[in-house]
Amino acid sequence: MPYLKNAWYAAGWSAELGEKAIARTILDQPIVLFRGAHGNPLALTDACPHRFAPLSLGRVTGSGIACGYHGLEFDGHGKCVRNPHGKGAVSSALSVRSYPLAERYGMIWIWMGDATLADESSIPVLPLDNAGLSWVYGQLHVSANYELVVDNLLDLTHVEFLHPFLASPGNSQRTSFRAEHKDEKVSAFYEIKGEPISGLFQLLWDGDETEGDMHAYMHWQPPSNLYLDVGMSPLGADTAAGAQIPTTHLLTPETEDTTHYFWAAGRNRRHGDEQISGMLHSGRRMRSRTRMNL
């Protein structure tokens, strides 16, 4: 399947990558992720050029990785730097591809295309480093093409039916909608005035009101990174005055039919409430494999 390669994709949460290497298929390519001597993330093709053993099954050396089959060692650029056999001859043919990485917002970003075009300024701007928000995050493995997940996230009319805890019955009938295409982004704006406060927002609601103004603004930065600015505020008040539960949805094609789905759910109130953290986490389905606080 053709993919948009000259773009930043979420490769994994920073907290996932410890002392051991991780094997991850991204855009149909086998990738090994590991950390270098200074803790910097590194990514190489996960196949030794000798007999194609996965390097992820080898040993992280500190500055690179050693193949577990016959011991060839590679640096973070994919260059073979040690051959433990014979006279230790090293050929330039014994190298593997390396991929540009960046670490931002507790996420490791990978550039799968032309390395000379990798520009960190094009990494999506996300609120994951906003000190006024606390977050839970995790990841899902989706058995579907990533474009179907993008479709699902931009069209939020499914929410009252699939996620009744988030939106009240009839929600989609009462919603005003507009879409915007600006620069390289597409945004879907949903707004409802005088909406019953849903179960989700009751968790964060401060007053005695039973209704408020709801907004859900989904922003898509192609190919597959989305941010949902969603909140509920007192009637007629500015959105900033209300309860907010922003979420990020970072989608990375694994194959044509499967997707890595890295999600994070934030909130601007009840920061230390572990019960709410648990509810926000379980709302992302039980198939989520990881729960950590940023």
Tokens of 190: 């949903």
**Are 113 and 29 spatial neighbours (Cβ–Cβ below 8 Å)?**
no
Tokens of 196: 């019953």
To ligand FES, the closest distance from the beta carbon of 90 in angstroms equals: 12
To ligand FES, the closest distance from the beta carbon of 48 in angstroms equals: 3
Query: 10 Å Cβ neighbour count for 204?
Result: 19
Place of tokens 């620069």: 183
To ligand FES, the closest distance from the beta carbon of 18 in angstroms equals: 23
Give the binding site for ligand FES (CB under 6 A).
48, 50-51, 53, 67, 69-72
Beta strands in the chain (DSSP E): 8-13, 22-26, 29-35, 41-45, 59-60, 64-66, 73-75, 80-82, 101-104, 107-111, 134-142, 176-182, 185-196, 211-221, 225-233, 243-244, 247-253, 259-267, 292-293
For ligand FES, the closer CB: 69 or 189: 69
For ligand FES, the closer CB: 51 or 285: 51
For ligand FES, the closer CB: 87 or 182: 87
To ligand FES, the closest distance from the beta carbon of 178 in angstroms equals: 55
For ligand FES, the closer CB: 30 or 71: 71
For ligand FES, the closer CB: 53 or 186: 53
To ligand FES, the closest distance from the beta carbon of 86 in angstroms equals: 13
